[in-house]
Structures are given as structure tokens and as C-alpha cells.
Chains A and B, each alone.
Chain A
Amino acid sequence: MSKGYVALVLHAHLPFVRHPESETYLEERWLFEAISETYIPLLQVLLKLASERVSYRITFSLSPTLLTMLDDSLLQNRYNQYLLNMMELAEKEVKRTQGDTDFYPLALHYRQKLYDIYQFYHKCKKDLISVFRSLQNGGYLELITSAATHAFLPLLATEEAVRAQVVTGIEVYEHYFGCKPPGIWLPECGYFEKLENILSDLGIRYFITDTHGLINAEPVPVLGTLSPVLTPSGVAVFARDRSSSQQVWSSIDGYPGDFDYREFYRDIGFDLDLETVKPYIHPEGIRVDTGFKYYRITGNGAEKAPYRLDWAREKAALHAKDFIMNRQKHVENALYHMGRKPMIVAPFDAELFGHWWYEGPQWIDFLLRKIHFDQDVLETVTPSQYLDFYDDFQECRLSMSSWGRGGYADVWLRGENDWIYPALHFAEERMVQMANRFWQPTAEERRVLQQAARELMLAQSSDWAFIMDNKTVVDYAVRRTKQHVSRFHQLCDMLASGTFSSDEVLPLEKLDAIFPNIDYRHFQSKNKFLAKEKLEVKRLRVLVLSWEFPPLTIGGLSRHVYDLTRHLVQTGWEVHVVTTEVDSCPNEEKVDDVYVHRVRVQKPDGGSFLHWVFQLNLAMLDTVSHLVQKGWSFDLVHAHDWLVCRTASAIKSLYNLPLIVTIHATEHGRNQGIHNDVQRHIHQLELRLVNEAEKVIVCSDAMRSEVRSLFGLEENRVQVLPNGIDPSLIQWDMHRKKFCEREDVVFFVGRLVREKGVHLLLHAASRLFVQFPKMRLVIAGQGPMREELEQLAIQLKIINRVSFLGFISDEERNQMYAKSKVAVFPSLYEPFGIVALEAMAAGTPVIAASVGGLRDVVQHEINGLTVFPDNVDSLHDQIAFLWSNPELAEQLSMNASLQIQKFNWDQIAKSTSDIYCEVLREWKGWVADESSNHGWWQRNEITSVDGAISQTHGAIIGTSLY
């Protein structure tokens, strides 16, 4: 009965190096050397142990790039040729060293070893993966996967890209082994906080972290590194045991540095004369390792003594024994405290064994035999097995870590390689955009997308940044990074152009032939808001810019845009409103079939309203850019008032869209002139906005005159469309109270600003109250003049007959209309005068100043009474006149109710749609499609693709990992 466990974890990985275009890339030898020195020697050991019924369990991670290379016929054939060359060299070495008592036995050893490897390789029909698979099936190995191209996941930018790396790794594993991987080797043990959620979603049961990754977890793991913990999402984490790692890895006192072991850096590729080795090194005479090494480490100096196979073998046995003894002590000590059997996790790079540490496979052989035959304290185990031994494990939260130098990202993020990330992240985000956009690609488009995904993943390999840091073959790593990024964009540009043939994709498919079954859709965002509708809806699409939209209701614009847009939808338009974010509302949602995109205004915003408006415009512009990058295209832009001028102007120019502008009021009109810099600034924005518009919509004839005269617009560019009113008010209420049944209330509703003329009403009231003792004045609405108006009412000594209600709801407003004898609007400036219409709709007689839009709405003694603007006497006289003539009041309200029918939103939306179509007709030369379902306009093209990179604009999308 054992007292604890050892989990030996070997991670086998090489970057994808495959150059069909040339046979002279030295870097392909990385694979060949690893096969000859590590993979086959390890497999030989493991198979032999199994055949001798030695019980052992090892965890082996095979990176997807390595699996693909091992399975690649071009590389298999090149490896075979490499092997034959080495066997030829071995023959020559046997002859050359004949008679040398030190080197000749070694030459014989190498010849025999190469022969055995050759036999092994052909016996398994060059299919090393099948040998791994059979060892897994036999219960000896637990094979796990890794990220697709071994990307260092903490430095990726988007969740989509991390997911794609992991899912692709899983799929490659499933392809070769026919089952789901139980665990994953995170490249370089690179972990970051949110990674566990992705792993959990994908059914990964465990991963391995470096020691400090677990020790620094929160709360502190009570069982240290001798037991796994669970992340909050349930994925198990096993940590590297520091001491066992130290004994094997340490360059100072680790086993591989023993003086009796083979010296890696003395190779005949460098030691012999060029003529002798020339056929076996690079054709241009660049010296390389051949694997024929005749010296042992000997000591710290340069002098090296001949290698002795028997001495090295003896040391390997001793070191295996030492390793076991130390682990036994560790386990026995911990068992007492833990209350469950401790588990020591010893992960290593597989290539250490055989390639760097020549005796490594032999050490593993001794280790497993001794554990099996010579003791009963330890037992080998895999992480999956250990998880099944116990019911529960401590839950901890882990933060970022890796097993690289310093324990974090120092190796992959420093002066030597930080320049790659802006490009890699940009490509990553572009891939996400493409994946989201091409929901149902053609076969040709799919090929391009798949190859783009391959190129991106190849560029993401952690190996390139690693090489730049350790300064070995930097040129190669730099070239590979640049090539893959460049090829990626070449493919995206092909998609963007929309015109390409398969001939253009083929060269890249041949050059970078990794993951034949890759699925680009793994880069699609999980949040697919609107994605499906985008394809299904084929209507014309308008982008509406409004700084406010319900529930954000500061002024009247919000309600106007809400009513207009939801009625526009009913005329067949697809409407997207971009507006300001509101607490408690989603940033993207559909409201009455209108797509609403609410933007967050960044802080700090410069500390003043005008800077805030500018900040809002930057945010709106970003949002529209995101929509376009996601594949949305718009047919026109409809901007409301100066607050969205910057966005409207930029979008028109960026995306070449016609612009329609509604000017609800002008800064000049509101202030009866331009008096200061702020007003001048707003006036300039209004001027710019209307000048860039194809068509300007205003709400009244008065506004048309004002806008034309202020901004010098041609007559045909300005169109009058009245505002609409609340549809529920338009229904004539037969049970409404007659004039004489109503309370003696004069009602005003509106903002309390000077232009509304409420001060005039107070002055008039002070005289009316004398004449009509029961009359009261009710003032509803909020604004900066409220306090001043209340003071005025006190001064006039009428405060006891004047009520200031403040803000009231629509329902309260309607109740006030219903019970008031008259509604009075003594404005000095009024672009439209929606309140007058609402009062008319409610059946309340109206008295209004003859200004602006009110003049269009109220006709004297026909549907109401008008007064001279800014004239208290006129106001007093008309109120007194109406008060004294109930029959006239009844007639006026009856007439008004008949006339307001034209102010319904259905009609206004239809007229707006007519304007849109007229603008589009002139802009694009489109024609109406009478046969369509709507009998109206339809989009011919629903999917647009982004332009070439040089025209790219916008903020970056993708789901940020942080």
C-alpha cells in the first residue's frame, strides 16, 4: 500500500516548422533531432517497460503543432532522409574512429542506436502518434492536449482568440485519439484569471501550473502543492513540485549537469574538419549539431574527457534512486499532516530527456522500474486518477503565473519582443470581426477564413517571442511572425475585396498546412447580439443619432426620436438608434423593434458640458465603427440636433453615407441671437451639420425660415415635417368635461426658461385674478428659472393662487389638461409647440403666442386664440375673453380636435420615409421595388465587408479578456 503518488508529466512541443518551399531550413532539424533523440527513445523505454509488465502511469502532453508535424508526410519523408544521412554518417564514424578505445565504442553505440530508431520508425509505419495512442489505450499514458499553436495565453487580447486556441487544441486531440482530452498543458504554464471559465466551458478537467501559481492562490491552499485545488468554475489545478523540479532542471545542481553525463556542446558537427561533416550539415556549410558527441561534461572547465556509456548509465540509476528517496521522504512527512495521500507533480519539457539530457530516457527507465520493483511508498499516478481518489478538494482563486523566467510574462513581454503585440492583437481582433461577419460563408470564403485562422494561430506561437528573448535564431522568429501576420492580412483583404479565386488561397494553404480541419467559427463571439437578424433582415437600414432616448428623457428630443423611430419601423425601415448610456438599461437591446445602442461616455470628460458632448460623440463614433466592423452596413444617417454633429459628420465621410438632419431648434433662436463663445461654438456646429446634410428637416414654417436665413440653405434642402403627438391623446374622448364643468385653472406646462414666457403669464395673472376671483394658475415643468418665477409670484402677491408642480409624468399632464379651462403658452421662441397640440388633443382650449411653430398650429378664433408675443396686455385680454365666452371655448376645442389628426406619428413616419427614399434615390440612383413584401424599398446587398487595411478605422472589437 503506497503512502503517496508521483505524477510525471512530460510536455512535448515544437513550433510548427515546415517549409515545403525549400529543404534547407535548419529549423526543420528541431523536429528530426527531437524524434531521434527524445520521442522514439522515450517510446522505446515506455514500450519495453510495458512489455515487461512494469506498472507505471505517465502523463504526456503532445502539442497540436507537434502532432500535426508528426503526421505530416512531407516531414515524415524528410525525417526519413535525415535519418538515412545520419546512419551514413554513423558508418563513416565507425570507420573513422576504428582503433580509438574511447570513441570507437561510442561510434558503434550511435550506429546501433540510429539503426534501432530507423527500425522503430518503419515498424510503426512512420506513425509515432499511433504508438502514443496504443500506450494510452494500454493504460500507461494519459495524453493531454495543449493550445493549438502553443500561444502564451495570458498575452492574447480577446476571449475569442483564447477560446479558439483551446478548442482547436481539443479538436486536434480528438482527431488523433478519438476522445476528449482529460486535461490541458497550458503553454509555458501560462495562466490568467479568466482562463478557468473557458477551460471549464470546454470540459477540461485539469491543468498544471507552476509552484507559485498555486502557493499564491487565494485562500492559501492548505495542502500546499501536494494536492490539487479547484478553481471556482470547478477545473482542477495541479502545481509543479519545486524540489523535484529543481533536482532535474537546475543548471547548477540538477542531475543533467553531472560530470559523467554526455556533454551537449561538443559535437562533431563543430569539432571535425568541414570536409568530413559537410554532407551532414547545412548545404551552405553552416555547422550544426549532428548528434555525434564523444565527450562527457567532465567538469566546469573547457577540457572535456571522453564519454563513458557505463559510467553514465550507472549515474542515471543512482539519480533515479536519489529522486525516489527524496520523494519518499517528502510523501511520508506530508502524509502525517494531510490526512490524505500526497501527490507530487513533476512536470518537464519532454525534449529535456534525450535531446538536452542524453541519459534522460534511461533515467526514466530506471525511475519507473525502481518505483515498481524496489519500494512501496510511492506509486505513479495521473492527475485524472488522483481526482477520482477523493471526493472533494479545496477551492481557490488563482492569479496570473507561468513557468517562465520570473514566473510571469517577462520572457514574452520585454523590449526584444513587445513590438509584436500591437500587430498580433490587431490581427486577432480582425479575425474575430471576420468570424462574426461571415455567418454563412460560401465555400470559397470559408477556405479563406480557415487559412486566415491558421496564419493567425501560427503567428501567435509563444516560441517566436521566446526565441527573440533568448536570442538564438532571432531572425527566423522575427521572419515567421511577420510572415504569418502579413499572410493573415493578405487573406482578410481578399475577403474584403470580395473578388478572389481559390488559386489565390492555394499557395498559402500549401505553405502553412496546419490543422486541415480547423474551424474559423471558434473565433466567433459568444455574445452574438444581432448576428442572426443581420442576415435575415433585408430592409433598408437607417442609423439614427440622438443624444437622448428613453428612458433617458431630459428634453423633448427623447420622446420625439422614440415615437419617430418605432413608427419608422412600421413603414419597413430597420432602425438603429445610437444614444447615451443609462444606468439599469442594457447597452444593446431592441425596443419596439428599434435597435438601440447606448454608449458609455468616458470620464474624465474635461469638466464641462461641451467637453462632455464631445466625449459622447467619440463614444458614438466608436460604437458605429464597431457595428460596421461587425458587418453592419447602413443606408443613411439621421442626426438630431447639434449634439451629435461630430459623429454625424465623421460617419458621413467615413462610410460615404447620405445625411439627414433634424434641427429641432437653433441656438440663435433659443437665445434671440448669439451672445457668447459657447453659443458661437454651438452655432458653428449647427452650421456644419446642416451644411453637410442632404436634407434638413424642421418642424414648422417658422423654423424653415429661421434655418434658411441663419445658415443660408437652399429652399429645396429644407423640408417641414410637424412633430407628432402622443397617439393616445389623439383619440377624441366623448366623455371629456365641457368648459363649464372644468376647474378654474389656467394651465401651463413646459420648461421654465425665459423663452417660454412664463413671467408674462404671471404678470397677466396678477390682473386676471382681480377680475376672476376663483381663477388659479398651475405651472408644470422644471427649469433654471423656477426660483426666479416663484419670487416673481411672491412679489406680485399671487403666490397663494399659483402652483408650481415641477416635473410631472405624461399621465399627470393629461389629467391637468382634462380639468383645466385653458392651456396657455406665451412663448417668446417656439420652434414647434408640441404642448399646444397636446392640449388641443386633450380637448382643452389653447391660447398661444403667435411665434414660431405655434403660429402654424394655432389659428386665431378657429382652433384657439393667439396673442402678441412678449405682450402682457394681449395675454391678459385673450384669457379674459375666453374665460367669459364658454361657447367660443367649446367651439375652439372642437375645431382643434378635428385638425390635430394630421399630427399622428404614422403619417409623420411615412413622410420621413419618403424623404429618406428621395435622398437615397439621388444618392445612389436606386429605384423602388414595387414587388417587395413591403411594396417599398429593399436592400440589394446585405453584407458589406471592410475595406483594405489602409482604410480601416475604428476602435477595436472582440471580447476583452480583462
Chain B
Amino acid sequence: MLKDQRGCKEEQWRRFWNVDRIRLMCKDASTLFVYWEVSSLRKQIISEHFESRWDQLPFYLLLHDVTDMLFEKNVPHSTQVIAVQPDSENWYIHPVLANRSYLIQLCTATKEGEFFSILQSNSVTTPRVASVSDQPSVCFRRPIRQERTVQENAITDVGPYSFPYFGEFDGYTVNFASRGCIHE
């Protein structure tokens, strides 16, 4: 089939969209797929902050097992660190466990070796694989719809809230003398 002008133009393909995103996908019970992209703006300001060229920063994927927990509030059950290159854009992760929830982050590291998250993915749950020792716990119900209600939060309290670096910053002054922050 001869391609007309429209066809040629339409078959051009963009791999990058200048967006910040990382998406974790489940391929099967033991394999995950992740792809990511960092926008030029984010690359620029991260480079500025760490005082390093983007392609000279170290990069890692941190795969967290966040089964039955809120990642923001808890320490993951386990974390797998995978070093990746600055120009990497996707990764297959195998093996992972069945019936576990995972979340992945693209990170760099400070000169002190602390990870710094650049992008954080959605979480996915790998499919469950039944084991022979499964004991059925039976609950029968009528095939009817459930009505769900949404509860909204509201401010209930005003007071002195803490944040993780209160020892270093009290809202006015940064109280540490020599703690380095940037790649020097």
C-alpha cells in the first residue's frame, strides 16, 4: 500500500513527550514492567540543585513492596535497588512475588549516599496464585448492589504541627552548620 503524505506524517512516532511520569505495569504474577520519562525542566532543576550534569548523576530504581500499607506512612516490607543508566527509559523486573503490591521510584543519590526520589509510580498488585494449602473461608451473599458513600475530611484541629526536619528548620532559621546538601 502506497503511503500518501498524510500516512507518512501520521506514522511518525514520538518516544518522549516532555512529561514527568513513571508507570508501573504488571505483566504476570512474577514480572513487572516500568517506563518513565523526566521532563527537560525537571532535569534542569534537579541538575541545578545537585550541581551536576544530568547524565553524570547516579540513577536507581527502588522497587518497594507496599502490600497492605500506605507507602507514605510506612516502611516498605522490602526494597529492591536497581542501578540504571541516565538514558534508560524502561525496565522489566523479574522475578517478583505473586499477590504483592509494588511501587517503584526513580531516584538519584546525594553525595552522602542518601536516595532522593525523582519520580514515584502508581502501585500495582501482582496476581494471586492459589496454593494447595489455601483453606476456604466461605461467605455467601445476595447478588445485590452496594451503595457507597464518600466521606470528606475537614480541618478539625489547629495547632503546632511537626514536620520531618523540625530540628533543622523552625520555620525561620536553618539550624545546622555544616550539614552538606548539594553535590559539591
Taking a contact as CB atoms closer than 8 A, the residue among A234, A646, A681, A751 that contacts B170 in the complex is A751
Near B by CB (< 8 A), chain A positions 779-812 give 782-784, 807, 809
User: Is B23 in contact with A157, judged by CB distance below 8 angstroms?
Assistant: yes
The CA of A807 and the CA of B162, in the complex, are separated in Å by 12
- For chain A, give the interface size range: 35 or more
- Which of A591, A608, A949 makes the CB contact (< 8 A) with B181? A608
State whether A233 touches B146 (Cβ < 8 A): yes
Interface residues of A in 936-960 (CB under 8 A from B): 949-950, 952-956, 960
* B68 sits at the interface (CB 8 A): no
B54 in the interface (beta carbon within 8 A): no
Q: Is A678 an interface residue (CB 8 A)?
A: yes
Closest B residue, CB atoms, query A413: B27
Cα-based distance from A726 to B27 in the complex (angstroms): 58
Who on chain B is nearest to A215 by CB? B130
CA of A439 to CA of B144 in the docked complex: distance in angstroms? 34
- Given A408-B29, A487-B10, A554-B163, decide whether A418 and B170 contact each other with a Cβ distance below 8 A: no
B155 engages A591 (CB within 8 Å):
yes
A956 engages B137 (CB within 8 Å): no
A425 proximity list for chain B (CB < 8 A): 21, 23
Instruction: Judge whether A400 is part of the interface by a CB distance below 8 angstroms.
Output: yes
In the complex, are the beta carbons of A552 and B153 less than 8 A apart? no
Known: A392-B142, A608-B168. Contact between A486 and B174, CB under 8 A?
A: no
- For the complex, give the distance between the alpha carbons of A304 and B20 in Å: 58
- Could you tell me if A553 and B159 are in contact, using CB atoms closer than 8 angstroms? yes
Whether B11 lies near A216 (C-beta < 8 A) is: no
Number of A-B residue pairs having CB atoms within 8 Å of each other in the complex: 290
A414 engages B27 (CB within 8 Å): yes
Given contacts A216-B127, A604-B114, contact A421 B25 (CB under 8 A): yes
A200 vs B147: C-alpha distance when bound (angstroms): 10
Residues of A within 8 A of B18 (CB): 950, 952-953
A666 to chain B: closest CB distance in Å? 11
**Whole-angstrom distance between the alpha carbons of A200 and B176 in the complex?**
55
CB atoms of A962 and B181 under 8 A apart: no
Residue of chain A at shortest CB distance from B11: A482
Q: How far is the CA of A109 from the CA of B152 in the complex (A)?
A: 69
Question: Chain A 419-435, CB within 8 Å of chain B: the 1/0 string?
Answer: 10111011000000000
| B164 interfacial contact with A, CB 8 Å | yes
A138 cross-chain contacts in B, Cβ below 8 A: none
Is A609 touching B39 in the complex (CB atoms < 8 A)? no
Task: Kindly state whether residue A272 has any CB partner on chain B within 8 Å.
Answer: no
Closest residue of chain A to B72 (Cβ to Cβ) is A600
- How many residues does chain B have at the interface if contact means C-beta atoms less than 8 Å apart? 96
Against A, the Cβ 8 Å flags (1 = close, 0 = not) of B143-184 are: 111100000111111111101111011111111111111101
Q: Which residues of A contact B125 (CB under 8 A)?
A: 193, 399-400, 962
- Separation in Å of the A597 CB from the closest CB of chain B? 14
- Which residues of A740-798 are within 8 A (CB) of B? 751, 753, 755, 782-784
User: In the complex, which residue of chain A has the Cβ closest to the Cβ of B140?
Assistant: A392
Measured in the bound complex, the distance between the Cα atoms of B49 and A621 in whole Å is 15
Choose from A394, A408, A552, A556 the contact partner of B139 (Cβ within 8 Å): A394
Q: A215-B130, A646-B49 are in contact. Are A551 and B28 (CB under 8 A)?
A: no
Chain A residues with CB under 8 A of B161: 551-554, 582
B83 interface contact, C-beta 8 A: no
CB distance from A904 to the nearest CB of B (A): 21
A961's closest neighbor in chain B, by CB?
A: B122
Question: Which of B9, B145, B156, B160 is within 8 Å of A807, CB to CB?
Answer: B160
Cβ-defined contact, A400 with B172, below 8 A: no
Contact assessment for B26 and A408 in the assembled complex, using a CB-CB cutoff below 8 Å: yes
Chain A residue numbers with a CB within 8 Å of B180 are 608, 677
Q: Indicate if B78 sits at the interface (CB-CB under 8 A).
A: no
Assuming the A-B contacts A612-B164, A681-B181, are A670 and B120 also in contact, with contact meaning beta carbons closer than 8 angstroms in the complex? no
Bound CA span A677–B24, Å: 38
Complex interface: chain B residues within 8 A of A486 (CB): 9-12
**Neighbouring A residues of B28 by C-beta, 8 Å:** 406-410
Does A920 reach chain B (CB closer than 8 Å)? no
Most buried by A among B46, B90, B122, B181: B181
Chain A nearest CB from B145 CB (Å) reads: 5
Given A25-B1, A608-B176, 16 extra CB contacts under 8 A:
A200-B145, A216-B128, A216-B130, A399-B99, A418-B35, A551-B159, A555-B172, A584-B153, A585-B155, A602-B105, A603-B117, A610-B182, A667-B174, A784-B170, A953-B41, A961-B122
Binding site for B on A (CB under 8 A): 22, 24-25, 154-155, 157, 192-193, 200, 205, 215-222, 230, 232-234, 236, 387, 391-395, 399-401, 406-410, 413-414, 418-419, 421-423, 425-426, 479, 482-483, 485-487, 548, 550-558, 580, 582, 584-586, 589, 591, 600, 602-612, 614-615, 617-618, 621-622, 646, 650, 654, 665, 667, 670-671, 676-679, 681-682, 751, 753, 755, 782-784, 807, 809, 949-950, 952-956, 960-962
